Amino acid sequence: MGNEFRVDREMVVGAYTELVRQMSAKRIRRLAEHLRSRELSLNQYSILNIVHYEEGCSSIQLANRLQLKAASITYLVDSLEKRKLVTRVENPEDRRSHTIHLTEEGLELVCVPENHAEMFGMFEQLGQDELEMLYLAMRLIRSKCLGEEQEH
């Protein structure tokens, strides 16, 4: 009985780290392909993402968030506006400034589609018992580590 397999926290952290690393690498490759196929630079995509998250923002806010010069932001926003991905709306409180908003086309580009077939493929080798154990383990991790209440 002294030879039983025991899992410690270091083993769990190692397995988790490797899984996250591999999944992150796949997401980064998917994002890179998304940007390439839509002819977007990472800075352009970052602007679309920030504008989407903030539900509109100024050039100054973009420059601060991206740590770019105002001239660079102007050039990038101009290029996005020419492609009808963003629009500038005059600030009613200060007509010298504008708020940048996404257009419908911009909203479509900011959302990187998930490859659900790839996700399902990751789990197709698992049997029902393994799927149930994995599901319960993920729920437990979410509950304990992220502080979310357990759903029943």
| Half-sphere CA count of 74, side-chain side, radius 13 A | 4
pLDDT, tens digit, 9 for 90 and up, residues 107-137: 988 887 676 777 777 788 888 999 899 899 8
Name the one residue in this structure whose structure tokens are 């979310």: 148
Q: What is the pTM of this model?
A: 0.69
Backbone angles phi, psi at 99, to 5 degrees: -105, 135
Q: Check pLDDT > 90 for residue 78.
A: yes
pLDDT, tens digit, 9 for 90 and up, residues 48-71: 999 999 998 999 999 999 999 999
Q: Check pLDDT > 60 for residue 151.
A: no
pLDDT of residue 101: 96
| Domains contained in the chain, CATH given | 9-113 (1.10.10.10), 114-152 (no CATH)
User: Is 98 within 8 Å of 59 (Cβ atoms)?
Assistant: yes
pLDDT, tens digit, 9 for 90 and up, residues 83-103: 999 999 988 888 788 899 999
User: Is 50 within 8 Å of 62 (Cβ atoms)?
Assistant: yes
Q: CA 117, CA 57: separation in Å to the nearest integer?
A: 35
What tokens does 35 get? Answer: 């940007």
